[in-house]
Amino acid sequence: MNAAEYANLERIEAAHWYYAGKRELVARWIARARPARPGRADRLLDCGAGTGLFAREMAGLFDTWVLDDHEESLRMLRAKFPADRVLSLAGDRVPLADGSLEVVTALDVLEHTPDDAAVARGFHRLLVPGGLAVVTVPASMSLWSDWDVGLHHFRRYHRAQLRALFPAGQWELVYVNYTNVPAYPAVWLLRRWRKWFPAAATAPGAERAEDRIPAPFLNGLLRRIFVAMAFWPVPFPFGVSLLLVARRR
């Protein structure tokens, strides 16, 4: 992402129902799938850490590292974490030893990478047996829009495509499902409107709908629905996002 996108994300992510809800549901899935062990803090790496907000929330529970390869993100991360906890890629390799982590998170990261399969293989290398990977990605190419272009996405995912990155011989899939399901019709219509009327969508001073924080009651309600449905066992046929929780074999 460019510097303006990082600044915009830092402005809205603490309060916006989607970003706050995503952090909450991922933290709750980690707690459910990998309960805390008394006397020892598990080691967590947040890949594509962005502004570092999620990692800061996890730092009280885990021995935490952050990784990114964008200079604007690294600048923000170095202001919030000790220097030895801020990592950038060494070529295409994360500079940590094999089997050095218990948890790896990648929140809306894989869509930014040309070779997402290589990234998933890297997660497997970094995790101890039984270690947990928690991944979120944008779903459904039918929702592709200028928003994806502006964020430098390579793709949006369908469920089978995401599952294929975590083969059964290497991973136990704890949960794979679409999330943000109720918002799908509204998002689909919004993306079509921007495609059909690009002049209105890109008018000077026009704010993207994704960047608006709703009124407090609606913002809180949307967050509660978003988080709650991310734990339902129902295999949803569509959604705005996908969540995968996998345990390394």
Please report the pLDDT score of residue 209 as a whole number: 66
How far is CA 114 from each of CA 65, 158, 217, rounded to the nearest angstrom?
Answer: 23, 17, 39
Please report the pLDDT score of residue 170 as a whole number: 98
Question: How confident is the model over 144-154, as pLDDT tens digits?
Answer: 998 899 889 99
Q: How many domains does the chain have?
A: 1
Buried-state track 114-132, b at ≥16 Cβ within 10 A, e below 16: eebeebbebbbebbeeebb
Please report the pLDDT score of residue 205 as a whole number: 53
Instruction: Indicate the pairing of strand 241-248 with strand 63-67.
Output: unpaired
Question: In which domain, by residue range, is 59 found?
Answer: 3-248
The 3-class secondary structure across 137-175, one letter per residue, is EEECHHHCCHHHHHCCCCCCECHHHHHCCCCCCCEEEEE
Given a cut of 50, the residues of the chain with pLDDT beneath it are none
66: amino acid identity, one letter: V
Please report the pLDDT score of residue 166 as a whole number: 98
* Rounded CA Rg of the chain: 18
CA-wise closest residue to 67 among 123, 144, 149: 123
Please report the pLDDT score of residue 206 as a whole number: 56
Please report the pLDDT score of residue 10 as a whole number: 85
pTM for this entry:
0.92
Dig out the tokens for 3 from the structure.
């510097």
Q: What is the CATH number of the domain that holds 122?
A: 3.40.50.150
Please report the pLDDT score of residue 204 as a whole number: 52
Please report the pLDDT score of residue 147 as a whole number: 84
Please report the pLDDT score of residue 202 as a whole number: 56
Rounded Cα–Cα distance for residues 76 and 66 (Å) = 11
Please report the pLDDT score of residue 92 as a whole number: 82
Question: How confident is the model over 192-242, as pLDDT tens digits?
Answer: 887 777 765 555 555 666 678 999 999 999 999 999 999 999 999 999 999
Rounded Cα–Cα distance for residues 212 and 209 (Å) = 5
Dig out the tokens for 13 from the structure.
């992510």
Indicate if the alpha-carbon torsion angle 242, 32, 119, 49 is positive or negative: positive
Please report the pLDDT score of residue 66 as a whole number: 98
How far is CA 23 from each of CA 20, 49, 167, 191, rounded to the nearest angstrom?
Answer: 5, 12, 25, 24
